[in-house]
Amino acid sequence: MIFLSPLMSVLLIYWILISLASSETPLIIAHRGASGAAPENTMEAFNLAWKLGADGIEGDFHLTHDGHIVAIHDADTAKVSGGKIKLLVKKVTLKELQGIDVGSWKDKKYSGTRIPTLEQVMDSVPDGKKFFIEIKCGTEIMAPLIKVLDQRIKERPELANQISFIAFDYHVIKACRNQWPEIEANFLESYKKIKGTWMPEQNDIFQTLKMSLASGLGTQANEEVIDSGFVKRLRKDKLSFHCWT
């Protein structure tokens, strides 16, 4: 029997991490922070997740026009501004983005909440906790990412073991693995049923994993796709396996 703590009531979506390379206990990762209660991808959501005892957080990151990495899921600000302002993140500066109230759409008590930078989110991560950095744009993010991450790891070497990169773009995963072979970087995949068949097929997934140099796979918990053979193949290739619900 599984008992759900109060934490579950505020995590809109959560990740269960299953490491096939070890017998680690599954972890609870706050998706976009404690996004069930606080505005997603904000310091309010991330800090609430830590307060409630999450094992880690996941955040989505885009690159601004002036080279800053910011936490936001969509490519524009329409959702987080409550539909009031639609700016393309890649076309505007950090200053312009941080002039937008991204909290009121969730609740008036979060009025004045701003879009945080990667540095701000990273600095909130306690020792021993996990931080999943989902890169939502392409490899253009690499130069500023290298600058930020290398500086933070210099200050806190243990971060290299706490961070995991995740992305649906295998070019991004490959770039991260080439730059930081010691840091986990997992390729993400979701599925669509096309003419009665779930796509992509398993062989295609494993080919992409090989091309991307990925250390693991993050995917939907879809029982019609993930069977015992799929898991055994991941184990054989010494790939970690992460699924979201």
pLDDT digits (tens, 9 = 90+) for 189-224: 999 999 999 999 999 999 999 999 999 999 988 888
Predicted local confidence at residue 9, as pLDDT: 47
Reply yes or no on whether 73 is catalytic. yes
Q: Is the pLDDT of residue 22 over 90?
A: no
Extents of the domains making up the chain = 6-244
Helix axes 228-236, 202-212, angle to 10 degrees: 20
- CB distance 172 to 178 below 8 Å: no
Predicted local confidence at residue 27, as pLDDT: 85
Integer CA distances (angstroms), 50 to 27, 172, 220, 233, in order: 13, 28, 25, 35
Predicted local confidence at residue 240, as pLDDT: 94
pTM: 0.90
Neighbours of 55 (CB within 10 A): 18
Residues 6+ positions from 46 with CB-CB distance below 8 Å = 30, 33, 34, 57, 59, 116, 121, 124
Reply yes or no on whether 62 is catalytic. no
Give ∠ CA 118-17-194 in degrees, rounded to 5.
95
- Please state the CATH superfamily assignment of the domain spanning residues 6-244 in this structure: Phosphatidylinositol (PI) phosphodiesterase (3.20.20.190)
Catalytic residue (choose from 62, 65, 68, 73): 73
Q: What is the pLDDT of residues 40-49, one digit of tens each?
A: 999 999 999 9
Q: What is the pLDDT of residues 142-156, one digit of tens each?
A: 999 999 999 999 999
Catalytic residue (choose from 31, 62, 68, 242): 31
More confident residue, 237 or 17: 237
Q: What distance in Å separates the CA atoms of residue 2 and residue 172, rounded to the nearest whole number?
A: 36
Cis preceding-peptide flag for 26 (omega within 30 of 0) = no
- CB distance 162 to 129 below 8 Å: yes
Q: Is the pLDDT of residue 98 over 50?
A: yes
Predicted local confidence at residue 12, as pLDDT: 47
